């Protein structure tokens, strides 16, 4: 049970896109290069974000990706949901049923409600933080130069329609 690297990658992809000027798009190659991640896999993750309506894409030359919502309206949980297919952390395996020799319709798993409750607590923390609030955490004096360098890359590679 481990958080997948794809979630982290998707989060920072969105942070990058949140730095785009208005009405501009950024090609997938620029994203994977800046993040230092696999080109093809990054494109696959981008498609998931598109399917979840977090970002939108335009094909063809001068194409690329851009945020579909405001950064403050995209929570980290939204990103988690978009990049992982199955939603709930826990699904019962029917061991209690076997142990007590219950009927088929008596699917009573005592752990279910507990796990659900735990997952909701976990989820609530991830809902509070957004791409915007995460970006604010990065913009500290220490990283000012670095962020300006990223902003410059975006200015070079982004395409404004």
Partner DNA sequence: GTACTTTTACTCGGATACCGTCTGTCCGAGTAATTATGG
Partner DNA sequence: CCATAATTACTCGGACAGACGGTATCCGAGTAAAAGTAC
72 binds a second copy per the rule CB under 8 A? no
With CB cut-offs between 5 and 8 Å by kind, which of a second copy, DNA, none does residue 160 bind?
A: none
Residue holding tokens 């990065």? Answer: 138
Concatenating the DSSP letter of every residue in 38-93 gives -HHHHHHHHHHHHHTTSEEEE-STT-EEEESS-GGG-BHHHHHHHH-S---S----
The answer to whether 48 touches 83, Cβ cutoff 8 Å, is: yes
Number of residues that bind a second copy (CB under 8 A): 54
Alpha-carbon span 150 to 66, nearest angstrom? 16
52 binds a second copy per the rule CB under 8 A? no
With CB cut-offs between 5 and 8 Å by kind, which of DNA, a second copy, none does residue 23 bind?
A: none
37 binds a second copy per the rule CB under 8 A? yes
| DSSP run (H or E) holding 159 | strand 159-160
9 binds a second copy per the rule CB under 8 A? yes
Q: Which residues bind to a second copy, rule: CB under 8 A? A: 1-5, 8-9, 11-12, 15-16, 34-37, 76, 84, 86, 89-93, 95-96, 98-102, 108-111, 114-115, 117-119, 121-126, 129, 134, 137-138, 143, 146-147, 149-150
């Amino acid at each position: 049970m481990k958080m997948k690297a794809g979630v982290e990658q998707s989060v920072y992809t969105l942070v990058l896109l949140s730095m785009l000027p208005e009405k501009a798009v950024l090609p997938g190659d620029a994203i994977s290069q800046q993040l230092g991640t696999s080109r093809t896999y990054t494109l696959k993750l981008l498609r998931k974000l598109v399917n979840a309506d977090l970002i939108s894409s335009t094909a063809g030359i001068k194409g690329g990706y851009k945020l579909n919502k405001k950064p403050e309206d995209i929570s980290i949980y939204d990103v988690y949901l978009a990049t992982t297919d199955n939603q709930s952390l826990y699904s019962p395996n029917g061991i209690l049923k076997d142990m007590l020799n219950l009927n088929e319709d008596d699917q009573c798993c005592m752990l279910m409600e507990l796990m659900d409750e735990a997952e909701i607590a976990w989820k609530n923390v991830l809902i509070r933080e957004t791409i915007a609030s995460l970006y604010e955490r990065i913009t500290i004096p220490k990283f000012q130069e670095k962020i300006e360098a990223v902003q410059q890359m975006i200015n070079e590679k982004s395409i404004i329609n």
